[in-house]
Structure 1
């Protein structure tokens, strides 16, 4: 087991309960409104389309709010995550809203052995790929999970955004690598990306960036055909504090000339026969 895996697992296990209690996640809304969707799924609802009768797997599902939302679009969902504490919260939320999601504890790279294959679609959301050291290996895993003709669907923070210094509040400053490197970026923080009243101690993470070309190449080399790539001028969290304004639907955008930055992207591909 790699050091990065142990370090990141401790981080996510320590944040799971606080995230489930945070207003930054739509847990209360999912419980109170049987038609509600998470903001992230609502943003891409038209691109996702109706999912009736389809079997999907959500990689790195965390506490499962996007996974549950996908069931509300008609899919039969499996949620996969390596954090047992996150899945405990996900199972509680799913039980509360009577969503029939199968949750599986596994590292992404072991997903086929843990969850099986022949899925109609693989979904992965914002803030997932940065935890993986090898994007080409990830692409091969995704292809192995899909039936021929099955679809990959990604909504993710743009690698250009991940390369910016989020501690600067008066300009766009490149600080972190844009391209994948063998060495991780190491961060230690006692906070979180969502508001929480829960006390959080210092936690260390190991993370990687992957350029758009590297992500697209990983998809193509794994035997998939790219069917869509849309870059967005918003992202579903305040990624650059002090420099962004909130938009409807939980999205955030640069206050000053947002057209300068690709904030996030949606990518779709299908597995070749």
Structure 2
């Protein structure tokens, strides 16, 4: 198993049931409350604006909680992920919620071939997605290929500064690459980012960081017009255990002097009409 996609897919496939069952994804809340939205989507509501009636696609959608949240806001959503178990659960969730959304199993770089060129008014990408991809330029070309003229890219991601840090006992250490590298950072770690007692066997992953300038340059190089970049001092998970505190909305930031660290960012761009 040498291809990074095979390595990473095995890791994600195994963790899908634990994520569905975890309190962190709030699957039960979606079923109990017809107005409930994922914390990621709720955080960016002021920047998203009115998306009702838009044809949208969520790339690397995992189990679909952000996808169905966007559908609840009125967008006609598609979701795409390379994990078949994740897509199975995403379809099941949308069906249980009575939402019309189509889901597809495919690698993100194949999205244009699978979904169609110039088909979407909105391409959405959420937290923890692009770090699994070796080329941010190829990703940006994919986004541009999916967008219809006038369509918009909307991404909230972990900040590359955060991904470059390793949580030490008292202060985080700048240990990992900030910029995109030819070779991945290889991890061999058990567990996952949600609460679970499940022990996993597929623990190897291949990951890449992408600097902010690399991302913006790739977006512009793909022919999109860069619109805005907002950096946030918080993330929707405990990214540096022992160093962060959760607020009432589910966002985590450094307990001491949170203005030291950009933890996430929201970037928007559009395809010229």
After TM superposition, the score normalised by the length of structure 2 is: 0.97
Separation in 2, partners of 1:106, 1:201: 24
Name the counterpart of 1:70: 70
Separation in 1, partners of 2:169, 2:230: 27
On the 8 A contact 2:179/2:211 being kept in 1, the answer is yes
On the 8 A contact 1:169/1:241 being kept in 2, the answer is no
Name the counterpart of 1:230: 230
CA shift, 1:199, in A, is 3.4
Matched, 1:179 2:195: no
Structure 1 segment 188-203 matched on structure 2, within 5 A: 188-203=188-203
Separation in 2, partners of 1:115, 1:198: 35
Name the counterpart of 2:20: 20
Residues 13-62 of structure 1, C-alpha deviations (whole Å, 9 max, x = no match): 11111101110102111110001000000000111111111000000000
Separation in 2, partners of 1:249, 1:200: 30
CA shift, 1:222, in A, is 0.3
Separation in 2, partners of 1:197, 1:46: 36
1:102 is paired with a residue whose SS is strand
Name the counterpart of 1:128: 129
Q: 4+ residue stretches of structure 1 with deviation over 3 A?
A: none
Separation in 2, partners of 1:68, 1:114: 20
1:40 is paired with a residue whose SS is helix
CA shift, 1:202, in A, is 4.7
Name the counterpart of 2:254: 254
Sort the Cα spacing of 1:94 and 1:170 in 2 relative to 1 into closer, same or farther, 3 A: same
Separation in 2, partners of 1:2, 1:106: 19
Matched, 1:149 2:147: no
Aligned-CA RMSD value: 1.1
Name the counterpart of 2:215: 215
Structure 1 segment 89-104 matched on structure 2, within 5 A: 89-104=89-104
Matched, 1:56 2:56: yes
Q: Which structure 1 segments of 5+ residues have no match?
A: none
On the 8 A contact 2:234/2:251 being kept in 1, the answer is yes
On the 8 A contact 1:244/1:254 being kept in 2, the answer is yes
On the 8 A contact 1:179/1:209 being kept in 2, the answer is yes
Residues 169-226 of structure 1, C-alpha deviations (whole Å, 9 max, x = no match): 3102101000000100011111000112333335110000000000000100000111
On the 8 A contact 1:54/1:75 being kept in 2, the answer is yes
After TM superposition, the score normalised by the length of structure 1 is: 0.97
Name the counterpart of 1:80: 80
Q: Which structure 2 segments of 5+ residues have no match?
A: none
Separation in 2, partners of 1:198, 1:55: 37
Name the counterpart of 2:161: 160
On the 8 A contact 2:11/2:202 being kept in 1, the answer is no
Name the counterpart of 1:46: 46
On the 8 A contact 2:59/2:125 being kept in 1, the answer is yes
